[in-house]
Amino acid sequence: MTPDDGGEQNGLAPVIPLFGGPAPATERGDAAGAERPTAAPSAASRDTPTWHTVWDEPDDDALDEDALDDAARSEREAAERSLTRKLRTRQLSVSEGRVVLAAHSLDADVVAAVLHAFERRGYLDDRALAEQLVHSAVQRKGQGRAVIAQTLAKRGLRRDVIDLALAELPDDDAERALEFARQKARSMRGLERDVALRRLAGQLARRGYGAAALDAARRALDELG
């Protein structure tokens, strides 16, 4: 018994036309191996639509390869390899993928087909990229909502994807700003309060905390005494 035989030790599984072809003309008979003709299909079976697997379904992003000459086909393959190499180094947005393909001499419909194929296979995923960028901005960089929004926009993400990612952020900019300010305030003990306040509020503002920056800086310095 092997994993590939479906657990059957004796006999063979019936032949199924996976790609819509006709069933074999004969089938195996008795143990002696004699063949007998198969029964003619009934009227009902002739009217039944042929079964197809998912592999036989048309691919929306498929191009008519016969319509491409050798040069165009070679250029498309080179573009796909180039995009794949980029994706091995870092995750890209669909917009960034389009920029990579723009370096090749491809028609617009070919570019669209390549991008759609990479999206369908999960190689390009704007929502997953947005989630990754938001997580990194909050957990590693201590950034606020405004800077996070700018980062997502710079990566070429669509407005609806950005809005969805920001909507999932907790409304805790004030708390995170204060936490960041407390960490930085300890390194400003030797400065005059006005100087320390200005520097600390500036650091918070550059991280996108906006109106919460000044209040967080004041509270952190007050706690430091």
Total number of residues shown for the chain: 225
Domain membership of residue 36 (yes or no) is no
- 197 and 177 housed in the same domain: yes
Q: What are phi and psi of 101, to 5 degrees?
A: -70, -25
pLDDT of residue 38: 46
Q: Is the dihedral angle over the CA atoms 68, 74, 76, 80 positive or is it negative?
A: positive
Residues forming a β-bridge with 26: 37
pLDDT of residue 175: 87
- 198 and 213 housed in the same domain: yes
Owning domain of residue 217: 173-224
pLDDT band at 11 (very low <50, low <70, confident <90, very high): very low
- 183 and 156 housed in the same domain: no
pLDDT mean across residues, the chain: 77
Percent of the chain with pLDDT over 90: 44
Residues forming a β-bridge with 36: 27
pLDDT of residue 43: 45
Domain membership of residue 52 (yes or no) is no
- 140 and 181 housed in the same domain: no
- 97 and 130 housed in the same domain: no
pLDDT tens-place string over residues 23-68: 444 444 444 444 444 444 444 444 443 333 333 334 544 555 555 5
Which residues, in sequence order, are CB contacts of 109 under 8 Å at separation 6+? Answer: 63
pLDDT tens-place string over residues 149-197: 999 999 999 999 999 999 988 778 888 889 889 988 888 888 899 999 9
- The total of structural domains in the chain comes to 3
Domain membership of residue 51 (yes or no) is no
Cα–Cα distance, 38 to 60 (Å, whole number): 38
Domain membership of residue 55 (yes or no) is no
Burial (CB count <10 Å: 0-12, 13-18, 19+), residue 86: middle
Task: Tell me the Ramachandran region of residue 90: left when phi exceeds 0, alpha when psi lies from -120 to 50, beta otherwise.
Answer: beta
Domain membership of residue 189 (yes or no) is yes
CB 198 within 8 A of CB 181: no
